[in-house]
Amino acid sequence: MDLDPDSCYRALRAKDRRFDGVFFVAVASTHVYCRPICPARPVRREGCRFYRLAAEAERDGYRACLRCRPELAPGNAPLDGPSRLVARAVKAIEAHAGEEALDVEALSGRLGCSSRHLRRSMQAELGLSPIQLDQSRRLALAKQLLHDSTLSLAEIAFASGFGSVRRFNAAFAQRCGMPPSRVRQGRERVRSDAFTLRLDHRPPLDWHALLAFLAARAIPGVEQVQDGAYLRVVSLGGVRGWLSIQPFEDKPQADRPQLRASLSASLSPVVRPVVARLRRLFDLDAEPLRIADHLGADPALRPFRMGLRVPGAFDGFELGVRAILGQQVSVRGASTLAGRIAQRFGDPFDSPCPGLTHSFPSVATLAATSEDALAQVGLPRARAATLRAFAVAVNNRALLLEPGVDVEETLEALQRVPGIGDWTAQYVAMRALGGPDAFPSSDLGLRKALGGMGPKEILSRAEGWRPWRAYAAMQLWHSLGASPEGATR
């Protein structure tokens, strides 16, 4: 998407939240870049430069504003301008964690291209290399942790992917114009077993609808909804812990649209992928007003519920298992079966949160489990066979359910698993892959909401809903108070 400077400046003067995260403004006189909703008084038009990504402003030597904190800006989902390859690469880089440097060769291999082609494409589309974008995201995370958490500087250095404190200090000082310790100057650091982070989003956000959807599908022992908050056990890269997330000060505020995520201190080494997964789970990078304007034009979708999001998945494999278990049974029945699988094949977890007792079993664990053992939790034999085949495909990486994968290719791979049809594949694409245009046209709830239309008629009607057919499906299900699971495929 090419930025029109005059339009950007008008949005900046209006402090229009629809454009928060869509572009950033850099001020030549101060050499600082901001979000378009920054409370500071805008400078004259000729003193501004506009960028699509924060990393582009940083590449040109601008420092992040300490008032509006650009590292908290919601992302763009879906990306309008970049090619599919670049859009997939950006998603994968944003969820990257662990080693100090991004492995560009491995990333390009997952994306099905050469590393040279990936670098050339990103440079042409964004003016950035994969390494530059990755370093920008690491420093943004470090800045957020410095502001919001009680982690030590050493913990922040390693959590944000730097191999040493010295390298972290040098990179932060070079990019931000100050040592990391100055961000915390004058604030006492109190050691705690947990730390809190802000997750900003574009308003409105229908938190109650999101929470109700997740509560009905919570896996007993692994996740739960309690007192207006979502809680779960996390097992990621050999690190285990717990988290909870709820609106800031117990309710969304018009002037501060954000959620508050509390994470156990044990999760600090994987905080970057955890935050990325939470943003996908709650669909925090959506543009709700833009989606509502588009879909609300169809009488079948009126009145469109403002702030309705497509609930994602914290873990793609876990969601896939949950979708398979939901075939031909009720939502409650599928949750019961998922809880039995977690209790029997997952690892016990000692949590301070009552009700969180197990982590969900890993891909390798379920791939190595026999069909007989899976059937013993109460599954029909055919369903147990499908579940194991699905686990084997993911374990062998014949099926990838991670950021940056090609949605169409993954839909085809899902349906090659015996027992997985179009409905289940589309449902997994909606939630696990964050595919905004995924659409289970054969769903009985959609047919009922649209007056008994057949799948072909529904697909024809839904052409006008692209590229947000997943949001249209959520609206139709919500209009019925219906569940997407348990319908005949």
Q: Length of the chain, please?
A: 489
Q: With the C-alpha atoms ordered 158, 163, 167, 172, is the resulting torsion angle positive or negative? A: negative
- The answer to whether the beta carbons of residues 56 and 17 sit under 8 Å apart is no
Say what the pLDDT of residue 485 is: 53
pLDDT at residue 195 greater than cutoff 70: yes
Instruction: For the chain, give every domain's residue range.
Output: 5-72, 84-183, 196-480
Alpha-helix residue ranges (DSSP H) falling in 112-227 = 115-126, 130-148, 153-159, 165-176, 180-183, 207-216
- The answer to whether the beta carbons of residues 19 and 11 sit under 8 Å apart is yes
Strand partners, 245: 230, 261
Helix (H, G, I), strand (E, B) or coil at 398: coil
Peptide bond into 299 cis (omega under 30): no
- The answer to whether the beta carbons of residues 203 and 288 sit under 8 Å apart is yes
Q: Return d(Cα 314, Cα 242) in angstroms, integer.
A: 13
For 270-308, the pLDDT digits (tens) are 999 999 999 999 999 999 999 999 999 999 998 888 899
Confidence of residue 342 (pLDDT cuts 50, 70, 90): very high
For 17-51, the pLDDT digits (tens) are 889 999 999 999 999 999 999 999 989 999 999 99
Q: Return d(Cα 67, Cα 65) in angstroms, integer.
A: 6
Question: 200: number of CA atoms within 13 Å, CB side?
Answer: 21
37: CB partners within 8 A, 6+ apart: 15, 16, 17, 20, 68
CA nearest neighbour of 324 among 432, 199, 402: 432
Q: Return d(Cα 274, Cα 268) in angstroms, integer.
A: 9
Fold of 196-480: TATA-Binding Protein (3.30.310)
417 DSSP 8-state letter = S
Q: What is the mean pLDDT of residues 415-439?
A: 95
190 DSSP 8-state letter = P
Say what the pLDDT of residue 95 is: 75
CA distances from 35 to 27, 248, 424, 438 (A): 11, 20, 39, 31
Say what the pLDDT of residue 170 is: 93
State the burial class of residue 186 (Cβ atoms within 10 Å of its Cβ: 0-12, 13-18, 19+): exposed
State the burial class of residue 166 (Cβ atoms within 10 Å of its Cβ: 0-12, 13-18, 19+): exposed
Q: Return d(Cα 183, Cα 189) in angstroms, integer.
A: 12
Helix (H, G, I), strand (E, B) or coil at 293: helix
Fold of 84-183: Arc Repressor Mutant, subunit A (1.10.10)
Longest C-alpha distance within the chain, in Å? 71
pLDDT at residue 93 greater than cutoff 70: yes
Phi, psi of 299 (to 5 degrees): -60, -30
**Buried (b) or exposed (e) across 194-225, using 16+ Cβ within 10 A?**
bbebbbbbbbbbbbebbbebbeebbbbbbbbb
Which one has a higher pLDDT value, 73 or 92? 73
Confidence of residue 337 (pLDDT cuts 50, 70, 90): very high
CA nearest neighbour of 64 among 195, 180, 186: 180
Say what the pLDDT of residue 83 is: 76
Beta pairing, strands 239-247 & 229-236: antiparallel
Q: Return d(Cα 349, Cα 125) in angstroms, integer.
A: 45
Catalytic residue IDs: 34, 443
For 240-278, the pLDDT digits (tens) are 999 999 997 644 444 578 999 999 999 999 999 999 999
Alpha-helix residue ranges (DSSP H) falling in 346-406 = 363-367, 371-375, 381-395
The reply to whether CATH 3.40.50.970 applies to domain 5-72 is: no
Question: Which residue reads 């398979």 in tokens?
Answer: 324
pLDDT at residue 79 greater than cutoff 50: no
* Percent of the chain scoring above 70 in pLDDT: 93
